């Protein structure tokens, strides 16, 4: 149907997350139709990011500098460290712009099923950050899954003698949710952790 | 949160069809994580397509050559022309690989609402292709919308004296469809165009 180059591009685009062949075709056609206004700026932005992107040597965030803008910010609290699974979670926390401490990206969670052991994660650099002193609180903001919870427990037992206060995000009913639509686990959790008004 | 370059890339990606901010963020993170295996090949493919892509001077298809591979194919029937709204429709027809004639991309359909008049469409080149002779049948494969039908009627009345047989795609119940889920218009159409078994 279309040229080989176009087919190849469609195939590459279709393998990106949340896309399939049909949406990839639509996207590529859109790029072809708007070469000057969409395709060329996109290529330029991709080139810039690909040339400038660094993984922060301290926290694991992606940025155009290393240390990243969060780690090198003087406005942020060096004594609180928020431990997240992934850069996506770091960005999600930053979108709320409530947290003013710093981060540590684990790069995954422990998983018996997928064979992820502590050595596969970014835990040694975390231990070094903690032992080098200055950190007072470790917020474990890991996913509310079994693996996430196991990882939280592993980290909390590993660092329990470090003198650092270890906390996790509160769990319960999310804002705007109808009880009717909540799963039993969440309801049980919310009931067990109920608070006095 | 992330660097300015990354933010800019996310914004550009989020404006592509079928994407939003959330999926754009996921895609960009995926690109950042797999720079060597995903991002660089994607940039290369985009560069190749952007450098080599041509709009076919005969039919309006996108290809790396002009005339495109369909127009320059000796295996295809020069006497049948399939008129489509968009390159996407040409690609859809080619995926079925049943049609062995050639194409003409209109680049849209007439629309009173959006102010699309015949001069905005690729109709003059079509008239030239027809008057230069050799074409026996014009298959109008335009969308089954009001505007598509109006465009079909316009084309059929415009070329009715050219000696070319003018046909359109059959309309009715699509394959695998349940009658229960069909809209009234389609049912009425299918009933009116019923065939003897």
pLDDT in tens, B101-130: 999 999 999 999 999 999 999 999 999 999
CA distance B88 to chain A (A): 7
Alpha helices (runs of H) in B15-136, residue ranges in sequence order: 21-33, 40-52, 87-96, 123-131
Burial of A62 (0-12, 13-18, 19+ CB in 10 A): buried
- Mean pLDDT within B20-32: 95
Interface probe for A, chosen from B5, B41, B88 (most Cβ of A below 10 Å), is B5
Q: Tens digit of pLDDT for each residue in B141-174? A: 999 889 999 999 999 999 999 999 999 988 888 8
The confidence score (pLDDT) of residue A178 equals 86
The confidence score (pLDDT) of residue A2 equals 56
Q: What is the CATH number of domain B4-50?
A: 1.10.8
Average pLDDT, chain A: 91
Could you give phi then psi for residue B66, rounded to 5 degrees?
Answer: -135, 120
CA distance B126 to chain A (A): 20
B26 CB contacts (<8 Å, ≥6 apart)?
A17, A18, A88
Percent of chain A residues past pLDDT 70, beyond the cut:
98
Residues 47..76 of A with a Cβ closer than 8 Å to B: which?
Answer: 47-50, 52-53, 61-65, 68-70
CA distance B189 to chain A (A): 28
CB atoms A2 and B46 under 8 Å: no
B76-168 belongs to which CATH class?
A: alpha beta
The confidence score (pLDDT) of residue B3 equals 66
Nearest CA in chain B to A94: B1
- Whether the ipTM is more than 0.90: the answer is no
CB atoms A9 and B47 under 8 Å: no
CB atoms A13 and B42 under 8 Å: yes
Query: Which of B16, B52, B68 has its CB closest to that of A27?
Result: B16
Return the SS3 of B14: helix
**pTM for the full model?**
0.81
Could you give phi then psi for residue A54, rounded to 5 degrees?
Answer: -130, 150
The domain locations on chain B are 4-50, 76-168
CB atoms B62 and A6 under 8 Å: yes
- Distance, in Å, from the CA atom of B110 to the CA atom of B147, rounded to the nearest integer, reads 6
Query: Which of A25, A26, A63 has its CB closest to that of B3?
Result: A63
Question: Which chain B residues have a beta carbon less than 8 Å from that of A41?
Answer: 12
Q: Looking at chain A, how many residues does it have? A: 197
| Residue B82 pLDDT exceeds 90 | yes
């Amino acid at each position: 149907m279309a040229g080989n180059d176009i087919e190849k591009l469609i195939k590459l685009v279709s393998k990106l997350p949340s896309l399939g062949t049909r949406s990839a075709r639509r996207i590529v056609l859109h790029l072809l139709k708007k070469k000057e206004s969409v395709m060329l700026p996109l290529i330029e932005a991709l080139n810039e990011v690909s040339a400038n992107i660094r993984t922060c040597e301290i926290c694991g965030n992606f940025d155009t500098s290393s240390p990243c803008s969060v780690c090198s910010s003087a406005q942020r609290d060096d004594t609180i460290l928020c431990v997240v699974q992934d850069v996506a979670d770091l960005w999600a926390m930053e979108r709320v712009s409530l947290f003013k401490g710093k981060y540590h990206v684990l790069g995954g969670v422990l998983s018996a099923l997928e064979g992820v052991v502590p050595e596969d994660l970014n835990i040694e650099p975390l231990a070094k950050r903690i032992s080098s002193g200055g950190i007072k609180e470790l917020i474990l903001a890991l996913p509310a899954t079994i693996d996430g919870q196991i990882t939280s427990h592993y980290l909390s037992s590993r660092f329990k003698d470090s003198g650092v206060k270890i906390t996790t995000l509160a769990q319960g009913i999310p804002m705007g949710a109808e009880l009717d639509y909540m799963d039993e686990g969440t309801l049980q959790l919310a009931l067990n952790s109920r608070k006095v008004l």
